[in-house]
Each structure stands twice: as structure tokens, then as C-alpha cells.
Amino acid sequence: APALAPQNIQVNSLSASQLELTWDPPPADSQNGIIQGYKIYYWESDTLNDTEKVKVLFLPETSVRLKNLTSHTRYLVCISAFNAAGDGPRSSPAQGRTHQAAPSAPSFLAFSEITCTTLNVSWGEPTAANGVLQGYRVVYEPLAPVQGVSKVVTVDIKGNWQRWLKVRDLTKGMTYLFRVQARTIAYGPELQANITAGPAEGSPGSPQEILVTKSASGLTLQWTEGDSGEKPTTGYIIEARPSDEGLWDMFVKDIPRSATSYTVGLDKLRQGVTYEFRVVAVNEFGYGEPSVPSVAVSAQTEAPFYEEWWFLLVMALSSLILILLVVFALVLHGQSKKYKNCNGGKTISNVEESVTLDNGGFTALELNSRHLNIKSTFSKKNGTRSPPRPSPGGLHYSDEDICNKYNGAVLTEGLGLNEKPLEVSESEVTDSDYEDEMPKHSFVNHYMSDPTYYNSWKRQQKGVKQHPASYRYEECTASEAEPYFQTVITTQSSGGVYTPTGQPAPGSRTPVTGFSSFV
């Protein structure tokens, strides 16, 4: 018999059921004669004792194909040569794996928790995977059209870990056909079954008086028991329909029969989503008719008032108003300080009033403003002297055409208007002297006592535009700020016009007949 085994054994996978073997014959010096054939021993690596097979080749060929093998299975192979004297030794095992194939059908198909609109369908793993399971396909459809439409639904599930499906779009009382397939490199055969949506015959009636109340921590659902059906009620379930999905789903189950209320924590609900609830009673026959849906309730958690947007807005506005008030108070305070500083200063403004008489017989008034410098309180206390006041006798008031007469009437000499001679020096004219000389109830005193009438009527020259009075006195020092006023006086009585000493101004206009200074 050959002394050595064949050399360089190679195992190649041809398909899901075939392997190809190649090798080299034993060395020539160890053949001990002519090689008449080979024996091939092969088996599945996981079950050596049960699956070992032998294939005999009666030709000195160095390759062979193994057929009818199991898909996606690892095999071990040994080869020996024989001659007329007998069999030589076996080679060391070589291994190879067949390709994947479509799996067999799922091992079972089952239904549970069947209500009017939902159910759970589950299935078992295929008995022969024939490869790596990639997932499953579930197909279901009604046996009769629903509202004239026959809808076929196909759901593909990836992976081998999930072998169940929640169906939520069934029609009450309708029978459906379900088909399930497994997939490796291809889908295997189907496993199918029929199921009818609830309520099951003999199951309880619908609960009554559904009420939902909301608290800070959850939603409380209350109800009363309905018809128990052919068997006593064993418990309840609660179904929910979120506003963002629109499909009913079992939310709480295994509620005891004695319970007539249940509290759902807000942490189990999605924030900002509105929910509707209904209650279903259960007995030995299955799930009964669901109750009327409750009112829609929001699952939004009520935040503290200090986290609400309106509170933050009010606080922001209040802060803004407070800041504005502070700024306004500071501005007022600064203005008042400035006003006090100005009062301790040197200037105020008075009004000069002038009246112009028109030859046409109408009276025109002109109001001009001028700034008069006044002496501050500090100056008065220190006894500083004020500027001299001009004498009214040195001013001209009458027109060219009248000097001593007005419309033929002579002014009565008895009208007393005292004036200081122009020769008196300015330094001798004081406030007290001037005030003592003013008549107490005279025309002059009437206007001099009112600060708005420091100037009496003035005449306007023909063709010359009247400008505001130009009598301005500039303060020389801070101590000489007491004002003095130039007074222009025109008086009229029933007898005529009084004109102070001096010549009439050229171009002066004749006053209106009968015009009184008291108009």
C-alpha cells in the first residue's frame, strides 16, 4: 500500500450544495506500486459521527466534486490513496464552506392582543437558515376590500433579533391574511395565516363615562364598568392616540378589574403632543368594544410662572421703565442745578414794548424783545453803583409839523412832568432819587410800575423800517449789573400835545387825532 497520503489538498466552494476538491498524488517513491484510486472522507464539522461520508474514486484522478451538500455549512475533508496491496494513510483534514442559500419558512406564526384596530403578530426562526439571516418580510391584506379598496401592506424588518410586529391600522371585524418570509441572500418560502380583528365574540362591552383630568404630575383617566359579556371582566387596557400619529395603540395593560381610574405620568408622554384615550375591557374571550374617546389633552408640563415668557417680558419692560425713570430724574436734577447757577448769575430778559402810530388813523403795535442786564443780589448787598439813567428831557418826541401845538390845541402847562437837568452828572443820579421823583399816581408811574411797559409809544419815521430799540447797556463788571431803563413817554390831554425840550426829529409823523396813550 502507499506509504504516504496525497499532498496539497485544496477545497473550493462551487455553490450552496457543491465543493470541489483538488490534490497531488503521494510522492512516487512512496507509492509502492501503481495507484489505482482514492478514497474521499468528508463530514460536517459540527457533527462528525452523524454525517461522515466516503466517496471512492477508482481512477487515478486528482480532483472531484462533492454534491448535495448543506448550504452555508463547513465541511472537513480527508483523502487516501490505494493500490492493489491496500489503502494508504489519510491526509490531514482540509476544510471548506458551501455558499448561502434561501432560508426555509419560519417555524411558526402566532397572533396576540387582538383588538378592534390592533394586534401583535410573531413568528419563529426558520429551521434551516441556509446562511446568515438578514431579516424578514411581513405582508398582510384584507380578504375583502375595505370601503372599495383592497390595501396590501408590506413591512420589511432588518436583522434576526426582531421576530414580531405591531399592526395598528386594522378595520374592526375584518379578516386579514398574513404572510411571513425569512431572508438571507434571498427570501425563502412563505408561512401564512388568517386572523379577524376584534372585538372577539363573547368579549365585554365598552366602559362608560370616560373622564380625563390633568394635574401637575400626570393625567388621571376615570371610567365606569360596562357590559361584562359572556364571561366576567378580568381587567382593562387603555389605548392612546397621539396627535402626531393619528393611530390607536395599546398604552397601558393589565389594569385590575376593580380599578375604575388610572393615572398616567406626564414623563411617559411626549411633551407638546395632544393625546386622546379610551378604555377596553377584557375577559376570557378576548378584548371587547372600546369606549368613546376622551377629550384631547395636552401632555405639556406646566412650567413655574417665573419661567413663562410673559413673566420674562414683564420683568424686561419693568427694568426698562426703571432705567428711564432714573435717567429722567438725573436730567431733572442737573437742570435744577443749572437753573440755580443761572439765578446766581447776571442776566434775565425783559420785554420792550413799542407802539407805532400810523398816519392812516389806525394804531399798530410792535413788540420787541431785548435783554436787560440787571444787578445780582450780591451786587446790591455790596453797595455797588448802578449806571446812570438817561433823562427823559433829552429825548425828542414831536414831529416836524408840530412843535408846540397839536391840531390847534395848546398843551396845558399844568401837566407836571419833572425831570432832572441834563447838567447833573451821572454819578449823582441814584436809584433813590429817580424813584422819589416819580408821581405816585401819574401816567408815568402806571407804566413804570409794570415791567412790560418800560417803553411807551414811539413814532416811526416815514419810509424807514422800524428796528428794535437799540438801547443796550453792557455790564462793566460783575458788581455793576443792576439794570437801568430808558423811558420814553408821550402824553396827551384834551388841550394838545406836550413836547419835551428839544427839536422835533426830522421825518417824524403826525399822531392820529384823538389817540390816547391809554388805548
Domain residue ranges in the chain? 7-97, 109-196, 208-298, 305-343, 345-519
Burial class (CB in 10 A: 0-12, 13-18, 19+), 461: middle
CA distances from 452 to 38, 353, 431 (A): 146, 7, 19
CATH superfamily assigned to domain 109-196: Immunoglobulins (2.60.40.10)
- The pLDDT score that the predictor gives to residue 104 is 95
Q: How far is CA 273 from CA 214, 244, 276, in A?
A: 14, 7, 10
pLDDT of residue 420: 40
3-state SS, one letter per residue, for 334-348: HHHHHHHHHHCCCEE
Question: What is the three-class DSSP state of 205?
Answer: coil
Specify the pLDDT at position 99.
95
- Specify whether the backbone of 270 is left (phi greater than 0), alpha (psi in -120 to 50) or beta: beta
Cα 217 to chain centroid, rounded: 26
The grid coordinates listed for 267 are 414623563
How many angstroms separate the Cα of 267 from the Cα of each of 273, 297, 501?
Answer: 12, 14, 109
- Asked if the domains 7-97 and 109-196 are classified in one and the same CATH topology, the answer is yes
What pLDDT is stored for residue 305 in this prediction? 65
Q: How many residues does the chain have?
A: 519
Give the chain's end-to-end CA distance (angstroms, integer).
Answer: 164
Name the residue type at position 277: F
Locate the DSSP E strands across 131-190: 135-142, 153-158, 164-167, 175-183
**Nearest to residue 436, comparing CAs of 427, 445, 425, 423?**
445
Number of C-beta neighbours around residue 190 at 10 A? 15
Which class is domain 7-97? Answer: mainly beta
CA distance 281 to 229: 10
Q: Where are the beta strands (DSSP E) in 101-152?
A: 109-112, 119-123, 135-142
**Whether 489 contacts 444, CB under 8 Å:** yes
All three cell numbers of 133, joined, read 439571516
The sign of the CA dihedral 124, 129, 132, 134 is negative
205: nearest Cα among 262, 286, 263, 275: 286
Per-residue pLDDT of the chain (519 residues; tens, 9 = 90+): 899 999 999 999 999 999 999 999 999 999 999 999 999 999 998 877 677 899 999 988 999 999 999 999 999 999 999 999 999 999 999 999 999 999 999 999 999 999 999 999 999 999 999 999 999 999 999 999 988 888 999 999 999 999 999 999 999 999 999 999 999 999 999 999 999 998 988 999 999 999 999 888 889 999 999 988 889 999 999 999 998 888 999 999 999 999 999 999 888 888 889 999 999 999 999 999 999 999 999 887 766 666 777 888 899 999 999 999 999 998 888 888 777 766 655 444 444 444 444 444 444 444 444 443 434 443 444 444 445 555 454 444 444 444 344 444 333 343 333 444 434 444 344 444 444 444 444 455 554 555 555 454 444 444 444 444 444 443 433 334 344 444 444 444 334 444 444 444 444 444 444 444 443
pLDDT at position 309 is 78
Are 434 and 419 contacting, i.e. CB atoms less than 8 angstroms apart? Answer: no
Q: DSSP states of 234-252 as a string? A: -EEEEEEEETTT---EEEE
pLDDT for the residue numbered 337 = 78
Give the C-alpha separation, 90 to 82, whole Å: 10
The rounded distance, in Å, linking the Cα atoms of 326 and 317 is: 14
Q: Following DSSP, what letter does each residue of 485-515 receive, concatenated?
A: -------B-SS-B---SSPPPTT--PPPTT-
List the CATH code of the domain at 208-298: 2.60.40.10
Secondary structure element (H or E) that encloses residue 280, with its range: strand 274-283
pTM: 0.55
Q: Residue ranges of the alpha helices (H) in 76-177?
A: none
Contacts of 318 (CB under 8 A, 6+ apart): none
Query: Cis before residue 199, ω within 30 degrees of 0?
Result: yes
d(CA 460, CA 443): 22
What distance in Å separates the CA atoms of residue 426 and residue 489, rounded to the nearest whole number? 21
Measured CA distances, 279 to 115, 218, 292, 502, 517 (Å): 12, 17, 8, 120, 105
Give the per-residue pLDDT at 302.
Answer: 64
